[in-house]
Structure 1
Amino acid sequence: MKHVLSAMVMNQPGVLAHISGMLASRAFNIESLAVGETERPEFSRITFVVAGDDKVLDQVRKQLEKIITVVKVVDYLHQEIVERDLMLIKVSTAGGKLSSVRELVEIFRGKVVDVSAEHVMVEISGSENKLTAFIDLMRSFGIIEMVRTGRIALSREKSLSVADALQPPPAYEDATAQS
C-alpha cells in the first residue's frame, strides 16, 4: 500500500540529506519525494510517498519525528487530499504527427511549452495515473526525453500549516498552564 506523508521541516542546509539518509539506512524505499518552501520561508514541506503496510508507515513516521529539524509529520492516509505530479515530456512530431500530439495534450489538459521542427515539449500535471496514461499514449509518437517531479499533496482540511505545526501539543499546553 502506498502512503503519502508530509513533513514540515526547518529550511536549513542538509535537512533533506539527513532525512533521506536516515530512511535509506533503515531500508525504507521512497517512491516519490518533493520538497519546497512553505508559506513561511524558514520552513519547507517534504512530501513522501512510501510503500508498505501500516507497521512500515508507523516506523517511518516515528523515525522522522526523532529528527530535530522535523517540526511535524502528517500521514494523509485517512484524509481527503488533493495531490499532483508535474511532468515535462519531449515528444517527436516527425512525420506530421504534431496535430495528433496537440490533440492528446488538449484532452489531457496539458500545455505545449516549447516547439521545434522535430518535437514538442509538453507540461502536464495531475494524478500519477493521469501522467502514466499520457506517457503510454506518447510512446507511439516517440518520447525523446522526460522528467517528473515527486508528488505534492495538501489536505482538503486544515492539517499542516506552519502556525499549527509550531503549536505545542495539547498535553504540553495543559502542563504549562498548571505550573
Structure 2
Amino acid sequence: MNALAIKKGASRHSAYDLRNPMDDRQETHTLAVLVDNEAGVLARVIGLFSGRGYNIESLTVAEVDHEGHLSRITIVTTGTPAVIEQIKAQLARIVPVHGVNDLTVEGPSVERELALIKVAGTGDKRVEAMRLAEVFRARVVDTTLESFVFEITGAPEKVDAFVSLMRPLGLTDVARTGVAAIARGVGGAVSARPVP
C-alpha cells in the first residue's frame, strides 16, 4: 500500500519516482524523439533498436518544424524499466537527436491512431459491420457491392477492439498508421538538448 497515494511510475523529474529499475516486468512506453530532419537520421534511430534487439511496436515520423528542419519520431516500445531507461539514454546520445521524452511516465498524454479496415461481406454480416462502425464512429471511405473500407481514429485499444469485432464479419485487410502522441496541458513538450 502506498501511504502517500502517489501514482506508481510518477515522472522521473519527481522526487517520488517509485519505479523499480530492477523490475523484470515488461512495460509498454511511448517515446517522443525530436530530431534533425535530414537523411539517415531515422536509420540511425532504428539501427539503435535493431542492433540491441529492442522491439518497436509502432513508429511514426513527421516534420514538425519546417523552418528549424526538425522532425518528431513517436516510438512505442516494450521492455523492462531498466531497458526503457537504457533506450532513452542511448537515443539521447545520438547526435541529431535534440530531445527524448517518455510520454508514458511524464504525465498525462493523448495517443491516437488511424486505421483503414477492409471488410468483405453480404447480407446480415454487411448490416452488422455497418452497425458496429456506427458504434465505433468509423467512417465508410470506400464501398463496393462486396466490401467496405472503414476509417477509424482513436486510441490503439479502440482500433484493436474494432478490428477484433470485424474479424468474424469478413475482415480482409488492415492498414494502421501507428501511434501519434502528445503530452496534455502546457508542459511536457519534447525539449531540445541544451547547447554546450
* TM-score strictly above 0.5: yes
- 1:30 maps to what in 2? 56
Give me the whole-angstrom Cα distance separating, in 1, the residues matched to 2:133 and 2:118: 12
Structure 2 gap segments, 5+ residues each: 1-26
**Secondary structure at 1:89 match in 2:** strand
Identity %: 40
Amino acid at match of 1:102: M
Superposed CA deviations along residues 124-168 of structure 1, whole A, max 9, x for unmatched, are: 01112111111111011111111112111000033225xx526x3
Find the counterpart in structure 1 of residue 175 from structure 2. 147
Structure 2 counterparts to residues 1-179 of structure 1, below 5 A: 1-40=27-66, 42-78=69-105, 79-157=107-185, 158-160=187-189, 164-165=191-192, 168=194
CA deviations 1:34-70 (Å, max 9, x no partner) are 1112143611110111111221111101111111111
Residues 126 and 169 of structure 2 are in contact (CA less than 8 Å); yes or no, is this contact kept in structure 1? Answer: no
> In structure 1, what is the Cα distance between the partners aligned to 2:39 and 2:96?
11
* Structure having the larger proportion of residues in helix: 1
Distance in 2 between residues matched to 1:155 and 1:126, nearest whole Å: 16
Partner SS for 1:47 = strand
Q: Is the 8 A contact 1:8 1:160 kept in 2?
A: no
Structure 1 runs (4+) deviating above 6 angstroms are none
SS of 2:169's equivalent?
A: coil
Quick check: 35-44 or 119-128, which moved more? 35-44
Quote the Cα distance in structure 2 between the aligned partners of 1:59 and 1:24.
Answer: 14
The alpha-carbon deviation at position 96 of structure 1 amounts to 4.9
Q: Is the 8 A contact 1:90 1:120 kept in 2?
A: yes
Unaligned runs of 5+ in 1: 173-179
Q: CA deviation at 1:72?
A: 0.5
Q: TM-score, normalised by structure 2?
A: 0.79
1:109 deviates by 1.1
